[in-house]
């Protein structure tokens, strides 16, 4: 369970609105003798920034994610959270404060709720439930559309 103060929640939501990405990634594993080539969707949050202290502070507020460092010449730090339950708790905590990423947050929360209540229909290997509904696919496609750069700004007006 993530418990942030209202100030921390507002700060983190603003940071995510400006520097974050909330979405679902799609993977298709190669088929082998042990597993089929079924698709896999993973909800996640990424926050990227050059300020190392900010990224490490986010990690302190929300343990469970990982920090990556890119570009040794001009360092860029990235916090990535893909643990479904931690992500769900965080997005619920930030719900009143998110503005720009509010729709993405709602869709990812909906997706996580669907996954958590889903009945196994094709088996569940060590990687979890492997069947996906049309509703889950639809959420993935909506997020792809929302997260396209520049798509939501038309005629100088930002659509929320």
Which of 45, 27, 21 minimizes the C-alpha distance to 128? Answer: 27
pLDDT digits (tens, 9 = 90+) for 37-92: 666 789 999 999 999 999 999 999 999 999 999 887 889 999 999 999 999 999 99
pLDDT digits (tens, 9 = 90+) for 12-46: 999 999 999 999 988 776 777 766 666 678 999 99
Give CA separation, 54 vs 48, 58, 76, 104, 139, in Å. Answer: 10, 6, 11, 23, 30
**Whole-model pTM?**
0.80
CATH 3.10.28.10 fits 6-151, yes or no: yes
């Amino acid at each position: 369970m993530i418990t942030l103060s209202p100030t921390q929640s507002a700060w983190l939501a603003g940071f995510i609105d400006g520097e974050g990405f909330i979405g679902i990634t799609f993977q298709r594993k190669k088929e082998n003798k042990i597993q089929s080539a079924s698709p896999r969707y993973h909800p996640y949050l990424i926050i990227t920034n050059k300020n190392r202290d900010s990224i490490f502070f986010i990690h302190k507020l929300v343990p469970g994610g990982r920090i990556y460092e890119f570009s040794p010449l001009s360092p860029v730090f990235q916090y990535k959270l893909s643990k479904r339950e931690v992500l769900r708790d965080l997005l619920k905590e930030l719900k009143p404060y998110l503005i720009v990423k509010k729709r993405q947050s709602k869709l990812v929360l909906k997706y996580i709720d669907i996954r958590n209540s889903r009945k196994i229909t094709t088996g569940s290997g060590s990687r979890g439930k492997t069947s996906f509904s049309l509703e889950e696919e639809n959420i993935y496609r909506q997020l792809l559309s929302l997260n396209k750069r520049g798509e939501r700004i038309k005629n100088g007006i930002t659509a929320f």
